[in-house]
Amino acid sequence: MAELGLLYLGMGVSGGEEGARNGPSLMPGGSSEAYKYIEDILLKVAAQVPDSGPCVSYIGKGGSGNFVKMVHNGIEYGDMQLIAEAYDVLKSVGKLSNEELKNVFSEWNKEELLSFLIEITADIFGIKDDKGEGYLVDKVLDKTGMKGTGKWTVQQAADLSIAAPTIAASLDSRFPSGLKKERVQAAEVFKSGGFGDILADQEVDKKKLIDEVRRALIWKGGCIIRAIFLDIIKKAYDRNPDLANLLVDPEFAQEIIERQSSWRRVVSLAINSGISVPGMSSSLAYFDTYRRARVPANLVQAQRDYFGAHTYERVDMEGSFHTQWFKLAKQSKI
């Protein structure tokens, strides 16, 4: 089609209603020649960030622009799940009111958690119900919808053998959220057995809990996931373009080391209280797996070789090996 003068350009767009009014983040992909024709227009339309200019950059060939938008949405799934879990812990264990939650998230939005999602979360907690009494957030049905981009992100990550535990956990959590009727019935069944929404009311220091949750949540304009954290990521890759994982960047690793105790305490508190925190706990599990030089995958590989002759490698010599495990096990029992 290019020979006929027809050039195609796809574009991921992020920013919602406000982005439409004040400038979105644009992710064009496709014909680089087509991009050159409309670059000036896009530079003016896109959101403008003081430190880095317009939120638009040519991504690459084919559908790469929309692919980046898909991943962006997947990250958004994870961010929203973590925020929802923080809300649940603060409300269910810390007994914070909506007004207190509004103040907490407003304060967080002035510090390292400064981001669009934290900002709008603070706004949400402060909105009164215009059709009744109380706060609107408490009247919203606890049933999360989705368009599919989170699922596609998890599928692509699996195809590329890349762990995306937080995004996968956030996707999985949306499925049972849709089973509202079943969850209500299950709550009645377990309530009769002595299980309430919260397994055990625990005495907690509100101020300390708020700080612990903030530290556990360690994570530019128009983009839905715009956050100070993105600047930290950019600096890490500026320092080392070949960085394999953010966790091993010295500055980022130090942040994790300083905060991981709070992270563990929040997850433990939630689990002991019967509160589901799949995003926080799966992220912690990934961290604990990645930071260990040796993990129990050796046993899994041995099992695979035992029942399926899938072979295994050794730590002390090169090559691929297969063992007659069943035969050796049978001999040892004689």
Claim to verify: residue 39 and residue 141 sit in the same structural domain: no
Domain final residue, candidates 62, 88, 110: 62
Residue pointed to by tokens 């049933």: 143
Do both 223 and 328 map to the same domain? no
- In this structure, the answer to whether residues 166 and 315 fall within a common structural domain is no
Shared-domain flag, residues 225 and 324: no
The domain boundary, picked from 62, 78, 106, lies at 62
Cβ–Cβ < 8 Å for 28, 9: yes
279 and 321: one domain? no
How many of the other CB atoms lie within 10 Å of CB of 146? 15
Check residue 243 and give its pLDDT. Answer: 96
Residues 49 and 73 occupy one common structural domain? no
We report the CATH number of the domain holding residue 265 as 1.10.1040.10
* CA 179-180-186 angle, 5° bins: 90
DSSP helix/strand/coil, 9: strand
Residues 196, 229: one domain?
Answer: yes
pLDDT of residue 226: 65
| 230 and 327 belong to one structural domain | no
Range of the domain at 301: 297-332
Q: What is the pLDDT along the chain (334 residues), one digit of tens a residue?
A: 777 889 999 999 998 888 888 899 999 999 999 999 999 999 999 999 877 789 999 999 999 999 999 999 999 999 999 999 999 999 999 999 999 999 999 999 988 788 889 999 999 999 999 999 999 999 999 999 999 999 999 999 999 999 999 999 999 999 999 999 999 999 999 988 777 777 767 788 999 999 999 988 875 455 556 667 778 888 999 999 999 999 999 988 998 999 999 999 999 999 999 999 999 999 999 999 999 999 999 999 999 999 999 999 999 999 999 999 999 999 988 7
Residues labelled as active-site residues: 69, 76
Domain boundary at 24, 46, 62, which?
62
CA distance 212 to 262: 5
Residues 267 and 233 in one domain: yes
3-class secondary structure, 177 = helix
**One domain for residues 76 and 207:** yes
Q: How far apart are CA 78 and CA 286, in angstroms?
A: 14
pTM for the model stands at 0.90
Largest CA distance in the chain: 80
Q: Are residues 43 and 97 in the same domain?
A: no
What pLDDT sits at residue 183?
Answer: 95
Do 98 and 222 fall within a single domain?
Answer: yes
Count of domains for the chain: 3
The CATH number of the domain holding residue 51 is: 3.40.50.720
Predicted local confidence at residue 334, as pLDDT: 75
Identify the CATH number of the domain in which residue 324 sits: 1.20.5.320
